Chains A and B, each alone.
Chain A
Amino acid sequence: MNIEKKENGNEITLMLMGRLDTTTAPQLEAEINASLDGAQQMILDFQDLEYLSSAGLRVLLSAHKTFMKRGSGQLRIRNVNETIHEVFEVTGFLDILNIEE
């Protein structure tokens, strides 16, 4: 997986390319943690993400909780493909995460 980072004021966008799974999830976790301080808003762009597994869900849930605890800012996910949308749906993550339709 490759991650491309774009900064725009206090908004950080991480473009994910490839697969978010057991092997690559630690990479996203590290990138999110490194970006948290400067980011009021964080967007994860899934345009070029093929799929994610539960290892990816774990990182997304943890990041979502961090933003909730902070009480300001938001983590949003956009450009979710059909396979990923179904994973979010069956696991109930559609109701937990901020996913742009």
Chain B
Amino acid sequence: MKELTVEATIGSIPVITEFVDEQLEQFGCPMKAQAQIDIAIDELFSNIVHYAYHPGTGPATVRVEVVEEPLSVVITFIDQGVPYDPLAKADPDVTLSADERDIGGLGIYIVKKNMNEITYEYKDGRNILRIRKEL
């Protein structure tokens, strides 16, 4: 298990992505799964940047671990900002035309579709969001 704590800013997204990618490469993670995990990081970390400490900023921790049966990568995002459950939102209507489209909610929807599991809890003043991707 490895973790990294950074400031919740847009500029930290490439730092977090590189940190996670380094771990994934050690686990022999397939390229496609890695790309899907990187997308999830972009969606989930940018959510933290925009909502957790708005309009200020604060710390965010990303933890990477591998679990067995089935062999999966689990990534946990932790912040100490206001309670925010991204899973509480209804899924977007993906059948609307271009004119009717609102981009809101698509990010978390992509994560739900690409990951095997996503869970949220608010515990001890912390938002804890966890994704699991089978390798």
B10, B38, B92, B98: the one contacting A61 at CB < 8 Å is B98
Give CA–CA (A19, B109) in the complex, Å.
Answer: 19
Q: Tally chain B residues at the interface, Cβ within 8 Å.
A: 27
Among the 9-residue stretches B53-61, B64-72, B100-108, B118-126, the one with 4 or more Cβ atoms under 8 Å from chain A is B100-108
- Contact residue among A19, A50, A86, A96 (Cβ-Cβ distance under 8 Å from B98): A96
Interface residues of B in 73-105 (CB under 8 A from A): 92, 94-99, 101, 103
A55 and B94 in contact (CB under 8 A), knowing A83-B35, A87-B110? no
Query: Considering the chains assembled together, what is the distance between the CA atoms of A65 and B32 in angstroms?
Result: 30
* 30 A-B residue pairs with CB within 8 Å: A19-B38, A21-B38, A21-B39, A21-B42, A22-B10, A22-B42, A23-B10, A23-B14, A50-B35, A50-B38, A54-B106, A54-B107, A58-B103, A61-B103, A65-B99, A68-B98, A68-B99, A83-B35, A83-B36, A86-B113, A87-B39, A90-B94, A90-B110, A91-B92, A91-B94, A91-B109, A91-B110, A92-B94, A92-B95, A92-B96
Within 8 A of A (CB), among B36-60: 36, 38-39, 42-43, 46
Chain B interface helix/strand/loop/mixed: helix
| Chain A residues within CB distance 8 Å of chain B | 19, 21-23, 50-55, 57-58, 61, 64-65, 68, 82-83, 86-87, 90-92, 95-96
Cα distance A64–B14 when bound, in Å? 27
The A-B contact count (CB < 8 A) is 70
Residues from chain A with a CB closer than 8 A to the CB of B10 are: 22-23
Give bound CA distance, A75 to B36, whole Å: 26
C-alpha spacing A68/B46, complex, angstroms: 29
Q: Kindly state the separation between the CA atoms of A31 and B95 in the bound complex, as whole angstroms.
A: 29
* Min CB–CB distance A41 → chain B (angstroms): 18
Complex Cα distance A82/B36, Å? 11
Q: How far is the CA of A22 from the CA of B42 in the complex (A)?
A: 7
Q: In the bound complex, do residue A96 and residue B110 qualify as a contact, i.e. CB atoms below 8 Å apart?
A: no
B38 touches A22 (CB 8 A): no
